[in-house]
Amino acid sequence: QVQLVESGGGFVQAGGSLRLSCAASGPTFSRYAMAWFRQAPGKEREFVGAISAMGWSGSSTYYADSVKGRFTISRDNAKNTLYLQMNSLKPEDTAVYYCAAVAMTWGTPRAPDEYDYWGQGTQVTVSS
């Protein structure tokens, strides 16, 4: 069983930055593919980015087109923590952000139903 706890959300003006963190429980964090999703009011949960489990050459990442070049996902396996660095934030980035995990040795799943574990979410609000 993996437990995920997000933090770092808040209120920021357009053009600003935030860094989200997701602390994971369990000794095998490096073997999990991890992802960030977001959900705005009245909208479906949307894929933001994913990072693969740690392989022999490191981890691979994949981003939604809407955040590519602005957001960076990373992981610190020694700290069991996933990060999402968000730069050049826009009002349309306003949403509750969730981290998710699945035991998978390779790949960067992009559909919510491919993930088994979820955090409780953290609110990000970007004002214009």
Q: What is the per-residue pLDDT for 114?
A: 96
The per-residue pLDDT for range 23-53, each reduced to its tens digit, is 999 778 989 999 999 999 999 999 999 999 9
φ, ψ at 119 (rounded to 5°): -85, 180
Report CA 57 to chain centroid distance, whole Å: 21
Confidence of residue 7 (pLDDT cuts 50, 70, 90): very high
Task: Note whether 6 and 121 are within 8 A (CB).
Answer: yes
Dist CA 67 CA 90 (whole Å): 10
Nearest to 97 by CA among 81, 86, 109, 111: 86
- Per residue in 58-112, pLDDT tens? 889 999 999 999 999 999 999 999 999 999 999 999 999 999 999 988 899 999 9
Bridge-partner residues for 37, per DSSP?
A: 47, 98
Q: CA 80, CA 42: separation in Å to the nearest integer?
A: 32
